[in-house]
């Protein structure tokens, strides 16, 4: 039960206590804790059993182990006074005196769990006490006084035996009577003997005697003397002797007093004369007061006529300072302090004693007048003639001791209450033949409810089989039987199924205690279920990763003598990993990776693994493993998890081979396209010059030799000129297409509205010829290559002007809007759904086109109409498509014959 956070906090407090403290557990007196003071006083190191501090010293108490056993078995505290221990101080032997207090450690139901030993150094107190014994108090000559006899029980028995009750510090705080020799009761008591004893014992245990009891317990010296007991009439001879450390024998014998009959008293009440020696010998303070009457005969105060030495010491006044003074004059607080048991002030209660003749006994806390710090007093008041006699005992120290006992007991109880384990004390129940049949629950602690659902109040006194049905058929019962018969101590883990339904796992520690068992238990069912769930999860996970095609392995580092990582070993792996290195999974678990692929330590893989393990930063990379007979391409990912590396690998050798082949083909195609583009560019330039010469020679023939040509010759030259013009246009368009294909666009901000405005201005003549009406709105600003975008929209407008309807005015509308990629799902690729696009729609009411030819119109040199109807080379829309592709955009066209065409251009806002 030791080791929890609460235990550590408790022992941390013990370390700060100025007394030496040690805690023992079990019948073998296992030392669980000893504080620094204990080690300092007795020279005991943490490795040395503290019992040796007593057994190795010649003057040590030889019954130390017996005292421990007695406290463990009885649960009763024990104190050893005047324990002498010789130490060496500055090279010289020096005798120290200690008081040893054995305090049982109980749970909330009173089961003894251990013993706390407190050793208090009382050397100075013992020295002072011995000196004080040499001082004797002088007796004063005091005249006899008389008081009215109260009605009290009969005389006490011959003697009474007391058991000393101590607090955790070892101080005697109470004396519990143990009646012995009842046959020596006074003759004539008859059937009322028991009542007489019960009535007498409280008087024999009066506070005036308690001080003597403590003195005898502490010093061991017998007391004999005569004293006045205010609680009983007459002088008494008292003898108090200590039989052992925890037992007192008290003998109280009455001494006959001279009784007189007061003939002047109308009710002929008996009075008793108190001899001066008895008055002064009383251990209680005695004050005799006479009433001070008022004008109406009422009592207004009490005048002190006589006090003894003890009363002077208690009140803090000298005798001559008190005699002749009034009570209220010295103690005005008597009219303010109320006696709780009476309900009136102290002064009013004294007046009532005089009026009624009934004595009064009470205990009060008084913090007025000279007692500002506050003191507790036990006071007995009786009528004496027409006044009162007060017997006063200062019980402050007793009260403080009781409070300290309560605080210490509360502290120990709280310490036990925070123990999280369940604790129970079980007593065996046997059959008629003596065989064990069950256990009865004597006590259980609070934690038992949270551990196994047993409530302390409901479980005490019940059979364990009633609380845990069927436990006698489990290993629990067998374990308990073993502790009772063969093994005095046992611990282990056990399972119990409640009524065949709910299974619980219990971690149990059982120890033999007297005739029964002390059992400590913890319910770890949740942890057990979590453990089983984790095991099941691991098995399921292993099945899952075994079905995965990629290699998965968990590897731990292997160190050399210099704590350097030299290899990695398999903690676990899936079947795919084992197959990747040509083995079975069961064969590689626990082996080193270098055993199967030694080349990994030299080809860079090991260095990468070690770097990830030491830095904690994972990585992913492609690796070509061309060692140990392998030629594989693997995508490797390495991650550190606690003290392991999680390594996954995906073999993509076939894909890599296809990729390499594809890359070779792409490279060949790139070179081919580059050659074609270069050829087209060069060819276009080279063809320009012959065409210019043909056109130039044709112009010369027409201008200078037209008269010499007939009509047929002039027609041939005209046709030649037209063909050369078409060829020049074709070459120019081809050159433009080649430039767009080979030139990478340089991005800049382009205001599409401004760009369209400039284009329509440049094309104003053609627009007026067609009497076309062009409108555009909501055109955004994008990033792109300005020249190419100009070419794009210029070609689209030229296309609409070219293919206008002959019988209706041409209307061209250009509208734009910004849209998310996922709003254009029918046109945009999934990878671009997150991008913003400018969607521009160019729509006209021209002749349109057949939807069957949608893809064809964007191909180079493709025409849907004859050259005689519409001029052109079939390159314009191909250039449009190429510009859109260069900007990572999208292009779509819709057409209806004789109704018009619509082109949708989708360009990224940022390119």
Q: What is the pTM of this model?
A: 0.33
pLDDT of residue 332: 92
Give the integer Cα–Cα distance in Å for 519 and 109: 14
Q: Give 363-421 as a 3 state SS string.
A: EEEECCCCCCCCEEEEEEEEEECCEEEEEEEECHHHHHHHHHHHHHHHHHHHHHHCCCC
pLDDT of residue 905: 92
pLDDT at 561 over 80: yes
More confident residue, 630 or 30: 630
DSSP state of 616: -
Region of poorest pLDDT, from 642-656, 737-751, 806-820: 737-751
Give the integer Cα–Cα distance in Å for 891 and 880: 9
- The confidence band for 178, taking pLDDT boundaries of 50, 70 and 90, is low
- Among residues of the chain, what percentage have pLDDT more than 90? 21
pLDDT at 814 over 90: yes
Give the integer Cα–Cα distance in Å for 448 and 455: 7
User: How far does Cα 35 stand from its chain's mean position?
Assistant: 28
Query: What mean pLDDT, rounded, does the chain reach?
Result: 77
Nearest of 607, 655, 613, 609 to residue 636 by alpha carbon: 609
Region of poorest pLDDT, from 211-225, 512-526, 665-679, 789-803: 665-679
pLDDT of residue 110: 64
Cα Rg for the chain, rounded, in angstroms? 58
Region of poorest pLDDT, from 41-55, 66-80, 803-817: 41-55
Give the integer Cα–Cα distance in Å for 501 and 799: 85
pLDDT at 585 over 50: yes
Give the integer Cα–Cα distance in Å for 690 and 696: 10
pLDDT at 362 over 50: yes
**In the block, which residue shows the tokens 């002039």?**
714
- The confidence band for 88, taking pLDDT boundaries of 50, 70 and 90, is low
More confident residue, 309 or 454: 309
pLDDT at 473 over 50: yes
Segment (H or E) for 300: strand 299-307
DSSP state of 897: T
pLDDT of residue 143: 40
| Mean predicted confidence (pLDDT) in 331-342 | 91
Nearest of 295, 294, 277 to residue 286 by alpha carbon: 277
Q: Is residue 424 a contact partner of residue 443, using CB atoms and an 8 Å limit? A: yes
Note the residue count of the chain.
911
**In the block, which residue shows the tokens 């108490």?**
61
Q: Which two tokens stand for residue 850?
A: 């057949």
Within 8 A by CB and 6+ apart from 545, the residues are 552, 574
Nearest of 563, 668, 548, 568 to residue 613 by alpha carbon: 568
CA 691 → CA 685, 728, 732, 736, 862, distances in Å?
Answer: 11, 7, 12, 17, 23
Region of poorest pLDDT, from 139-143, 385-389, 637-641: 139-143
Q: Which two tokens stand for residue 608?
A: 């990468």
Residue 177 φ then ψ, to 5°: -70, 140
pLDDT of residue 256: 47
More confident residue, 311 or 157: 311
Q: What angle do CA 550, 556, 558 make, to 5 degrees?
A: 130
Nearest of 265, 251, 248, 309 to residue 283 by alpha carbon: 309
Residue 891 φ then ψ, to 5°: -135, 135
């Amino acid at each position: 039960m030791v080791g929890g956070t609460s235990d550590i906090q408790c022992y941390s407090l013990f370390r700060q206590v100025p007394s030496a403290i040690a805690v023992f557990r079990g019948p073998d007196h296992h030392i669980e804790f000893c504080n620094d003071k204990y080690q300092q006083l007795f020279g005991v190191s943490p490795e040395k059993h503290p019992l040796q501090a007593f057994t190795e010293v010649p003057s040590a108490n030889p019954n130390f182990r017996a005292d421990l056993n007695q406290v463990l078995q009885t649960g009763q505290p024990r104190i050893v006074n005047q324990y002498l221990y010789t130490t060496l101080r500055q090279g010289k032997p020096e005798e120290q005196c200690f008081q040893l207090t054995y305090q049982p450690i109980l749970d909330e139901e009173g089961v003894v769990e251990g013993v706390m030993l407190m050793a208090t150094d009382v050397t100075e107190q013992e020295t002072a006490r011995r000196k004080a014994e040499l001082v004797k108090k002088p007796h004063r000559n005091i005249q006899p006084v008389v008081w009215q006899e109260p009605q009290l029980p009969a005389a006490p028995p011959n003697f009474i035996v007391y058991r000393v009750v101590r607090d955790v510090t070892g101080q005697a705080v109470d004396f519990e009577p143990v009646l012995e020799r009842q046959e020596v009761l006074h003759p004539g008591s008859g059937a009322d003997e028991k009542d007489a004893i019960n009535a007498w014992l409280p008087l024999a245990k009066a506070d005036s005697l308690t001080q003597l009891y403590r003195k005898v317990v502490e010093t061991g010296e017998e007391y004999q003397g005569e004293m006045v007991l205010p609680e009983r009439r007459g002088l008494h001879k008292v003898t108090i002797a200590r039989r052992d450390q925890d037992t007192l024998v008290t003998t109280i014998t009455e001494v006959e007093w001279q009784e007189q009959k007061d003939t002047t008293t109308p009710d002929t009440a008996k009075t008793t004369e108190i001899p001066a020696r008895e008055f002064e010998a009383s251990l209680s303070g005695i004050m005799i007061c006479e009433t001070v009457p008022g004008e109406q005969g009422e009592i207004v105060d009490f005048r002190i006529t006589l006090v003894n030495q003890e009363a002077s010491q208690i009140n803090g006044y000298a005798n001559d300072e008190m005699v002749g003074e009034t009570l209220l004059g010295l103690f005005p607080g008597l009219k303010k302090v109320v006696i709780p048991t009476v309900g009136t002030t102290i002064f009013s209660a004294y007046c009532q004693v005089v009026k009624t003749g009934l004595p009064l006994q009470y205990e009060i806390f008084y913090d007025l007048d000279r007692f500002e710090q506050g003191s507790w007093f036990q006071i007995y008041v009786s009528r004496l003639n027409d006044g009162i006699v007060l017997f006063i005992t200062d019980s402050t120290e007793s009260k403080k001791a009781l409070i300290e006992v309560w605080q210490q007991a509360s502290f120990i109880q709280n310490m036990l209450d925070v123990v999280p384990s369940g604790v129970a004390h079980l007593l065996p129940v046997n059959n008629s033949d003596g065989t064990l049949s069950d256990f009865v629950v004597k006590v259980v602690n609070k934690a038992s409810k949270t551990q196994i659902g047993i409530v302390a109040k409901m479980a005490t006194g019940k059979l364990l089989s009633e609380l845990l049905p069927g436990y006698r058929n489990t290993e629990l019962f067998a374990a308990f039987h073993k502790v009772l018969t063969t093994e005095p101590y046992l611990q282990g883990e056990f399972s119990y199924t409640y009524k065949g339904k709910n299974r619980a796992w219990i971690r149990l520690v059982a120890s033999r205690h007297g005739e029964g068992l002390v059992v400590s238990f913890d319910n770890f069912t949740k942890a057990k279920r979590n453990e089983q769930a984790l095991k099941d999860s691991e098995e399921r996970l292993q099945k899952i990763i075994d079905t995965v095609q990629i290699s998965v392995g968990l590897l731990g580092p292997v160190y050399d003598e210099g704590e350097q990582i030299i290899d990695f070993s398999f903690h676990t792996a899936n079947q795919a990993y084992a197959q990747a290195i040509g083995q079975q999974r069961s064969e590689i678990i626990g082996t080193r990776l270098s055993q199967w692929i030694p080349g990994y330590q030299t080809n860079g893989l090991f260095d990468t693994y070690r770097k990830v393990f030491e830095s904690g930063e994972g990585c992913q990379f492609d690796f070509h493993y061309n060692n140990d007979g392998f030629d594989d391409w693997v995508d490797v990912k390495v991650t550190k998890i606690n003290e392991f590396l999680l390594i996954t690998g995906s073999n993509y050798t076939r894909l890599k081979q296809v990729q390499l082949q594809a890359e070779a083909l792409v490279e060949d195609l790139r070179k081919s396209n580059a050659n074609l583009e270069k050829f087209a560019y060069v060819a276009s330039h080279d063809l320009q010059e012959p065409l210019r010469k043909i056109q130039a020679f044709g112009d010369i023939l027409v201008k200078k030799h037209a008269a010499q040509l007939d009509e047929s010759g002039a027609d041939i030259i005209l046709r030649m000129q037209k063909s050369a013009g078409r060829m020049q246009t074709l070459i120019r368009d081809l050159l433009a297409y080649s430039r767009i294909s080979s030139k990478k666009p340089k991005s800049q901000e382009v205001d599409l509205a401004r760009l369209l405005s400039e284009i329509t201005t440049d094309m104003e003549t053609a627009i007026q010829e067609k009497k076309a009406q062009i409108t555009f709105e909501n055109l955004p600003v994008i990033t792109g290559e300005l020249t190419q975008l100009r070419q794009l929209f210029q070609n689209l407008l030229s296309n609409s002007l070219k293919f206008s309807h002959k019988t209706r005015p041409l209307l061209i509308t250009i509208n734009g809007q910004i849209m998310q990629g996922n709003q254009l799902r029918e046109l945009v690729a999934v990878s671009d759904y997150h991008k913003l696009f400018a969607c521009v729609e160019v729509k006209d009411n021209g002749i349109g086109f057949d939807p069957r030819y949608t893809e064809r119109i964007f191909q180079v040199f493709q025409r849907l109409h004859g050259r005689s109807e519409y001029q052109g080379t079939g390159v314009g829309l191909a250039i449009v498509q190429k510009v859109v592709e260069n900007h990572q955009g999208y292009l779509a066209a819709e057409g209806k014959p004789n109704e018009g065409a619509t082109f949708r251009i989708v360009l990224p806002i940022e390119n």
